[in-house]
Amino acid sequence: MKKIAINLHPQDKESLKLVAAFIKISHAKGFNVVIPDYALLHDDFADYIANHEDYINADAAIAIGGDGTFIRTARMFAAGSVPILGVNRGRLGFLTEFLPQEALDFFNELASNTYTVSQRKMLKANIIRNQHQFAAIDFLNDAVITKGSFSRPIRIRLELNNEFVNCYAGDGLIIATATGSTAYSLSAGGPIVLPDDESVFVVNPVCPHTLAIRPMVVPDSMVLSARVVTSIENLLLTIDGQEAIALQDTDVIHFSRSVHVIQVINHPSRRYFDVLRQKLGWGANNEVE
């Protein structure tokens, strides 16, 4: 390992001491450190700012913040399968498993490559406009088709491998990976899919107008096609809660498995169900030893 990339929330000035600590320990190990230009929060780090091409050409990445920062980091390093260590300075922290001091204590394992990783598959949203590809975007958590400020429902026609499934009427549609099943989809009544089974994704209607409509778990070997059949303005496709694309009423979005896989560095002792119990409050009143 020669180069470590550090990413942080550009407004989180409280994380600068932690960044400085990582830089100090990295130098002690003989590693170079790079920081993206949008995260320059203090002149002391000016020497570590790198352009995008240099930044993503790292051997490992450290994401300091919440799950949003981790997802932003993952999307930047997806093509290179760079292992990412998530340091939690947010709220939930499903992906940022390490507390700040734990991450510093773990640095020897990071430096010597004696850690384990979990592989998290991504999905791809391929937007077809006027029979041509308009955009193709990979996502780690979810993609959401939603309306603007109008209160009336929208209808979304769904097909799986070109076979008609249904027309959903409601406020929108969530397409969530197994990783993203504990995010917006869970809040909308969707199932939790264990990250060990990354061969499926969740199709979850938002506030459907028919009680019989329920979320579906779909093999990622299939292609889901979605088209809004209601004539309405301000349609959006939101990617990982970080990127919004204005849709036209003739657009078709194909959701399929991405070629990219995210390498998440595992906490040495904290497991997935530990995170669920802590973050979701499972068993808070009836702990079983």
Residues 141 and 56 reside in one and the same domain: no
**Its pTM surpasses 0.95:** no
If we measure between CA atoms, which residue out of 98, 107, 81 comes closest to residue 23?
107
Tell whether 191 is covered by a domain: yes
Catalytic positions are 67
- Our CA angle for 99, 100, 103, nearest 5°, is 85
Residue 108 resides in a domain: yes
Query: Within this chain, do residues 92 and 135 fall inside the same structural domain, yes or no?
Result: no
Tokens of 286: 């009836």
Reported as a single tens digit per residue, the pLDDT across 197-241 is 678 999 999 988 887 889 999 999 999 999 999 887 789 999 999
* Domain housing 233: 122-259
Task: Let me know whether 110 and 129 are in one domain.
Answer: no
Residue 109 and residue 28 share a domain: yes
Phi, psi of 185 (to 5 degrees): -60, -40
Q: What is the domain count for the chain?
A: 2
If DSSP codes are grouped into helix, strand and coil, which group holds residue 270? Answer: coil
Sign of CA dihedral 186, 190, 195, 201: negative
Do 132 and 252 lie in one domain? The reply is yes
Residues near 47 by Cβ (< 8 Å), separated by ≥ 6?
Answer: none
Task: Pick the more confident residue, 272 or 28.
Answer: 28
DSSP annotation of 250 reads T
Output the domain CATH number for residue 82: 3.40.50.10330
For 35-63, what is each residue's pLDDT tens digit?
998 876 667 788 899 998 999 999 999 99
Residues 188 and 242 in one domain: yes
| Mean pLDDT for the stretch of residues 248-257 | 94
- Which of these, 176, 197, 172, 195, lies nearest to 185 by C-alpha position? 176
Q: 176 and 272 in one domain?
A: no
